[in-house]
Structure 1
Amino acid sequence: MGKFDDLPEARRRGLEKMEEVYGFEMTDGSGDFFRYTAEHLFGDIWQRPGLSTRDRRIFLIGMLVGQRANDVLTIQVPAALANEELDAEALRELVILACHYDGWPNGSRMNAVVEDSIAKAERARAKKES
């Protein structure tokens, strides 16, 4: 039995998808904002046919770079690595693309998030292997 099995179907699906996308354990929340996030955004939009989770993540990362939303990039980039949707090489390629389309300063900010995420993932992997 899963930890969200006692919740309505839309809420359960949304919370499970949130865990997959964010890469960390979720708990149920309250209020309309959380309800729309869990049930609509993650229970419906992130699960529509036509794009994979990886496709959606790449698109989202691009939008976040353009919006200078590094706080959310610090969630999405590590989750992409953890879910093996993007590896270090692919993330570094996105940085180069961002630099040329969105400007070097913004691409540089993205690069800092990417390199920090890669370093943390490599440290975690080395710790697990030892």
Structure 2
Amino acid sequence: MDFFVGNNTFDRGMHVRRSVLGDAHVDKANSKINDFNADFQSFITNYAWGEIWTRPGLSKHNKSLITLAMLIALNRPAEFKMHVKAAFNNGVSADEIKEVIMQSALYCGLPAANDAFHLALEVFSPLTPDGGI
């Protein structure tokens, strides 16, 4: 179980971060650590991934769905695309992502949902044989 891997919050966070986002993404982010952003990267690993994503109250699958909805509402396209890909790692299907976007159309607005559909299709294309359709 991911919740007890490693000896400290950072180790647990790095484990979950890698399992959700993939080694390539995390390695790329880590390769860009410098004196200016090192504290922020540590913060992300410790708190976002080591404290919140390791909480046992929701599955990673559900956390992915919730995260997608919030990123649509906040209009964060780069993070949304990253988390669409991560959602696949957490067992979320293209149909479930479609339903999150449909729900967001009602509560976040049609332009937000329209953008989310376009962004999701950009991510689906290389990941699924049928482009997620």
- Tell me if TM exceeds 0.5: yes
The share of aligned pairs that are identical, in percent, is 21
Report the counterpart of residue 128 of structure 1 in structure 2.
none
CA distance in 2, matches of 1:24, 1:100: 35
Where do 4+ consecutive residues of structure 1 move more than 3 Å?
27-30
Conserved? CA contact 2:68–2:84, under 8 Å = yes
Q: Is the alpha carbon distance of 1:63 and 1:88 closer, same or farther for their aligned partners in structure 2, counting shifts above 3 Å?
A: same
Residue 65 (structure 1) aligned to one of 58, 64, 72 = 72
Q: Which amino acid aligns with 1:39?
A: N
CA distance in 2, matches of 1:84, 1:46: 12
Structure having greater relative contact order (Cα 8 Å, sep ≥ 6): 2
Structure 2 equivalent of residue 36 of structure 1:
43
Unaligned runs of 5+ in 1: 1-6, 126-130
Q: CA deviation at 1:24?
A: 3.6
How far has the Cα of 1:35 moved from its partner?
1.4
- TM, length-normalised to structure 1: 0.78
TM-score (norm 2): 0.77
Aligned residues: 118
Aligned pair in 2 of structure 1 residues 95, 124: CA closer, same or farther (>3 Å)? Answer: closer
Gaps of 5+ in 2: 1-5
